[in-house]
Amino acid sequence: MKYYSGVDLGGTNTKIGLCNEEGKILHSSSIKTDSIHGVEDTLERIWLEIQKQLTEEKLTKEDLSGIGIGIPGPVKNQSIVGFFANFPWEKNMNLKEKMETLTGIRTLVDNDVNVIAQGEAIFGAAKGHKSSITVALGTGIGGGIFVDGRLISGMTGAGGEIGHMKLVPDGKLCGCGQKGCFEAYASATGMIREALSRLYVNKLNALYEKFQGNYETLEAKDIFEAAAAGDVFSQEIVDYEAEYLAMGIGNLLNIINPEVVVLGGGIALAKEQILEPMKQKIRKYALEITLENLEIKTGVLGNEAGILGAAALFMLS
Amino acid sequence: MKYYSGVDLGGTNTKIGLCNEEGKILHSSSIKTDSIHGVEDTLERIWLEIQKQLTEEKLTKEDLSGIGIGIPGPVKNQSIVGFFANFPWEKNMNLKEKMETLTGIRTLVDNDVNVIAQGEAIFGAAKGHKSSITVALGTGIGGGIFVDGRLISGMTGAGGEIGHMKLVPDGKLCGCGQKGCFEAYASATGMIREALSRLYVNKLNALYEKFQGNYETLEAKDIFEAAAAGDVFSQEIVDYEAEYLAMGIGNLLNIINPEVVVLGGGIALAKEQILEPMKQKIRKYALEITLENLEIKTGVLGNEAGILGAAALFMLS
């Protein structure tokens, strides 16, 4: 049996898990990332934690076949991090090399959403399939494209940046500074922005009743709840969301024609409300041939996706 | 030295070329496809022509390492043709198997635009690069996506159907029956449709002067020529074309992040008029990181792309 460490390097916390080649997590724990003390400090503490886990599982360094690391930012050649989103660490850093020098263990690094896509492809919802696209629908929209056993990471690590595919010429301003991005329409943020815009001119609805004009804490969840309870205003926002989701995913089907689409993140939790209407609407956007035998599923790895995916970087499907 | 036959199976004519592994065409010729007599008849005549070429080059069947075939339609696993566009041949035909049974030579089949993409990646404008997207801008828009030495052909052969990526929600009707497709805006057809629509309400322009309201023979070339001669009406149509081209290609950059984009087809001939403005406009649509070191080039294989690409199906980059 081979063993791997999966590391999910987050802005605040870093999750570390010791996995076997079958995708079983033997041991997992979390440490503070504390990126402010510099990359060397964080990597040393990660390595200490990995060694602790090995000892507790009665394994040694020699039993460890690889360390996989998922990070928030673009990664080139599973080695060089273009930049760390929200970390005060240098640009174009060869994180693979740093970790290998420190540990003597083969290391692979990839973008956090790509890592989730790899995890779903190897151990999760797309297991056993040759190609899949994992779409993370949260505050933003991220994606990971898996074809013939490999992630499409791109020349500069921006492969799968599907949230910035433009769906509307000169459309809504996106957080990235460009306009009309998929993410500006179909993320949780996009849904809230659309609700706020409509609420400005409509007060005869359940959301107004609930928040009384103070929308600072309004979340996508509130909209789904109001829609489920019969509020037409909220139902129309969910419908708007499903339409753009269908358009964005339909585009990906025409370009990649994968076997499986895996949907994750907060929005995907609203299965019946958003995924079923989206599946109907996608026929407007995807070529019929791309829908033959296509499976659209929700992710199954949940909170463990980051750890399992990082470990899965060493495995082919 | 290894030798391959490249076959470009077209609606009217089929081009056949004998190539060596360095991408040199030793011999090429063309026969009528005459698809009406059935697939067996056409394949037999292709095989006769291949054998004739071998004899003329003093080679034998044993010298031939493979036969590559490009066809107009989606192809699954480089074997099964979903359907032949404009051919009265059965659906879901295993053309690879048919040809191998007939010839005893290993055969690979792929979509004609994918074949061109493979040719440009192995022998042409993207030679030596790990990833490239070839965009064929003609009557329609086709694409071939080449990553890590392989085409993304897709589960049902629809990989690279970039012409049907939607750029405008409920936009212009496309020939495919859906709305808002890249092809409905940025193909030669899209450009002519936009011109016709504008000509309906504007007669103070060089195109009206030239055609006097009878636009049946209007081609994209006429619009480029009038624009180059200073006609503002035509310049605005070219600008419109460049904008959608930038949007479509920008989307592909965000999704695939390739090293090279290769542009082919009639529209790409208008290099200075369309490609230079497009390169400026693409900054509105593509994430900055995808433009670092990106090369945007025109195809170099021209009429030989179909033959060389079909032969190149046997080669990795």
From chain A, the residues in CB contact with B258 under 8 A are 154-155
DSSP letter, residue A23:
S
For residue A70, the cross-strand partners are A8, A110
**What's the CA gap between A132 and A75, in Å, rounded?**
20
Residues with Cβ within 8 Å of A13's Cβ and at least 6 positions away in sequence, in order, are: A30, A31, A32, A33
Inter-chain CB proximity A158 and B294 less than 8 Å:
no
Looking at the predicted structure, is the pLDDT value of residue B316 above 80?
Answer: no
Residues A175 and A75 reside in one and the same domain: no
Per-residue pLDDT at A85: 81
Q: Is residue A54 part of a domain?
A: yes
B14/B73 same-domain check: yes
Q: Name all contacts of B71-74 with Cβ < 8 Å and 24+ positions apart.
A: B71/B9, B71/B95, B71/B109, B71/B110, B71/B111, B71/B112, B72/B9, B72/B10, B72/B11, B72/B111, B72/B112, B73/B111, B73/B157, B74/A289, B74/B111, B74/B154, B74/B156, B74/B157, B74/B158, B74/B161
> Would residue A165 count as lying in a domain?
yes
Confirm whether A316 is domain-assigned.
no
Is B255 within 8 Å of A165 when comparing Cβ atoms? yes
Q: φ, ψ for residue A242 (rounded to 5)?
A: -65, -35
Do A133 and A173 fall into the same domain?
yes
Report the alpha-carbon distance of residue B41 to residue B31 in Å, rounded: 12
Quick check: B158 and A252 CB within 8 A? no
Domain assignment present for B209 = yes
Record: contact B292-A156, CB cut-off 8 A: yes
Separation between Cα atoms, residue B298 and residue A102, nearest integer Å = 46
For chain B, the domain total comes to: 2
CA A237 – CA A30 distance, rounded (Å): 37
3 state SS of B72: coil
How far apart are the two ends of chain A, measured CA to CA in Å?
17
Rounded (5°) CA angle B214-B217-B223: 95
SS3 A251: helix
Partners of B160 on chain A (C-beta within 8 Å) are: 255
Could you tell me if A56 and A44 lie in one domain? yes
Same domain, B153 and B283: yes
Minimal CA separation from A148 to chain B, in Å: 9
The reply to whether B226 falls in a domain is: yes
CB B54 within 8 A of CB B60: yes
The pLDDT score that the predictor gives to residue B271 is: 83
Query: Are A7 and A79 within one domain?
Result: yes
Report the alpha-carbon distance of residue B58 to residue B56 in Å, rounded.
Answer: 5
Confidence tier at B272 by pLDDT (50, 70, 90): confident
The domain that contains B67 carries what CATH number?
3.30.420.40
**Do B79 and B134 belong to one domain?**
no
Is there a contact between B258 and A154 if contact means CB atoms under 8 Å apart? yes
In a domain, A317, yes or no: no
- Helix A220-228 × helix A188-199 angle, to 10°: 70
What's the distance, Cα to Cα, between the start and end of chain B in Å?
Answer: 17
Nearest to B156 among A82, A150, A292 (CB): A292
Chain B nearest-CA residue for A92: B289
Contacts of B159 in chain A (CB under 8 A): 255-257
Q: Does the residue A287 lie in any domain? A: yes
Which chain B residues have a beta carbon less than 8 Å from that of A154?
131, 256-258, 290
Q: Which residue of B has its CA nearest to A252?
A: B165
**By residue range, what is the domain housing residue A43?**
1-117+302-311
Which tens digits make up the pLDDT trace of A128-181? 999 999 999 999 999 999 999 899 999 999 999 999 999 999 999 999 999 999
Split at pLDDT 50, 70, 90, the class of A316 is confident
What's the pLDDT score for residue A317?
Answer: 55
- Residue B153 CA, chain-centre distance (Å), reads 14
pLDDT, tens only, B148-198? 989 999 999 999 999 999 999 999 999 999 999 999 999 999 999 999 999
- Mean pLDDT of the residues in chain B: 96
| The pLDDT of residue B317 is above 60 | no
The average pLDDT across A180-194 equals 97
Q: Using the beta-carbon criterion (under 8 Å), do B155 and A257 form an inter-chain contact?
A: yes
Please judge whether B284 and A179 are an interchain contact, meaning their C-beta atoms are less than 8 angstroms apart: yes
pLDDT confidence of residue A11: 87
Whether residues B142 and B285 fall in one domain? yes
Domain match, B148 and B288 both: yes
B140 and B103 inside one domain = no
| Across B35-48, average pLDDT | 96
Q: Residue B177: inside a domain, yes or no?
A: yes
**Residue B166 to residue A167, Cβ atoms within 8 A:** yes
Q: Do A156 and B254 touch (CB under 8 A)?
A: no
Question: pTM of this prediction?
Answer: 0.95
Residue with tokens 């926002």: A237
Name the residue in chain B with its Cα closest to that of A76: B257
* pLDDT tens profile B105-131: 999 999 999 999 999 999 999 999 999
By Cβ distance, the residue of B148, B159, B247 closest to A150 is B148
Residue A102 and residue A168 in one domain: no
Measured over the CA atoms of residue B95, residue B99, residue B102 and residue B105, the dihedral's sign is negative
Please list every residue in chain A whose beta carbon sits closer than 8 Å to the beta carbon of residue B246: none
Distances (CA, A) of B150 to A203, A294, B16: 55, 22, 23
Half-sphere exposure of B77 (CA within 13 A, CB side): 10
Q: Are residue B275 and residue B137 in the same domain, yes or no? A: yes
* Interval B49-73: pLDDT, tens: 999 999 999 999 999 999 999 999 9
**Which tens digits make up the pLDDT trace of A82-119?**
998 878 899 999 999 999 999 999 999 999 999 999 99
To the nearest whole percent, how much of chain A has pLDDT over 90?
94
Interface touch B255/A259, C-beta < 8 Å: no
Which is it for strands A150-151 and A260-264: parallel, antiparallel or unpaired?
unpaired
Contact residues, chain A, for B179 at CB < 8 Å: 284
List Cβ neighbours of B34 (8 Å cut-off, separation of 6 or more): B41, B42, B45
Q: Are B10 and B33 in contact (CB under 8 A)?
A: yes
Rounded Cα distance, B170 and B168, in Å: 6
Q: How far apart are CA B279 and CA B151, in angstroms?
A: 25
